[in-house]
Amino acid sequence: MVFTAVEDAVLDRATRSFERAAEALDLLRGEGVPLVLCSSRTRAELELFQQDLRIRAPFVCEDGGAIFIPRKYFPFNLPEAVAVGGYQVIELSAPCAELVEALRQAALRERVPVVGFDELSVDEVAAEHKISLLEARLAKLRDYSEPFRILDPNPAARTRLFHRLQRAGFRCTPHGRFYHLTGNKDERQPFRKLKSLYRKAWGELRTVGVGVRLAHLAFLREADLPIVLPAGGQEETARLLSELPAARLAGRAGPPGWNEVIVELVGHRTLQAAGRSLEG
């Protein structure tokens, strides 16, 4: 199975297209290799991507806040899951309303001015992130995380705020100019859980993780083969590789690099299987 980031990996940030990863996507579909999207994006955003990609697989949304598993995807019941639409959902974070209130209280007590997604209009989100109004509406449909921006430039203010939130059991993940607040203290939990479900359903499993940024460390650390795409800048790529001694650095950035590594890995697996079949 493949854990993957979305932006600057399978999705071209500039064109908002998956076209340059089409060969690898076709190969994954043809070989029945699950592609698990892992993102800070919302359920609504990832559902739209899955439609474009023509895949039906679990996905991990909102920085590990929840795992969405298509109903009857696994051949057994998931007693810890709740039914939401056509999914069984394993919820790992506090609900968004609780996060919004926790952020508000922490910011007041530490006297650190912040602005959260909850306070922004759809137009403001679209302008802030340079996205369409439709994309902004989908980004606002948050269930398990609250993005926020700290208005005080003093690093000490950020430290005070983060310490208070962490003591209360919350986690802050950097995403550009914003931080994402979630209630899932163990960022690797969703990926360990998914691996255990796949093994229970189908036995032997090899996992590949393809990431770009430090925010992707959780699933890269859970992958048997972590692959880093050099799209996050030299310093960030270097830090990722230092955190992942067994990682492989892709030769190209973005969807072309993603396409190359997946075609190489899955194509090699296909050739090996064909060889075993001929030997048999």
List pLDDT tens digits, range 80-127: 999 999 999 999 999 999 999 999 999 999 999 999 999 999 999 999
Gyration radius from the chain CA atoms? 19
- Strands of 178-182's sheet in order across: 114-116, 145-150, 178-182, 171-175
Domain count, the chain: 2
Which pLDDT value is given to residue 279? Answer: 37
List the chain residues with pLDDT less than 50: 270-280
Q: Write out the two tokens for 126.
A: 């679209």
Residues 229 and 117 reside in one and the same domain? no
Q: Tell me which residue range forms the domain holding 125.
A: 96-182
CATH code for the domain of 25: 3.40.50.1000
Residues 145 and 226 reside in one and the same domain? no
Q: Which tens digit of pLDDT belongs to each residue from 31-41?
A: 999 999 999 99
Which pLDDT value is given to residue 60? Answer: 98
Last residue of a domain, one of 182, 212, 232: 182
Helix, strand or coil for residue 206?
A: coil
Last residue of a domain, one of 182, 212, 238: 182
Which pLDDT value is given to residue 269? Answer: 59
The model carries a pTM of: 0.92
CATH code for the domain of 176: 3.30.980.20
In whole angstroms, give the CA distance from residue 135 to residue 215: 21
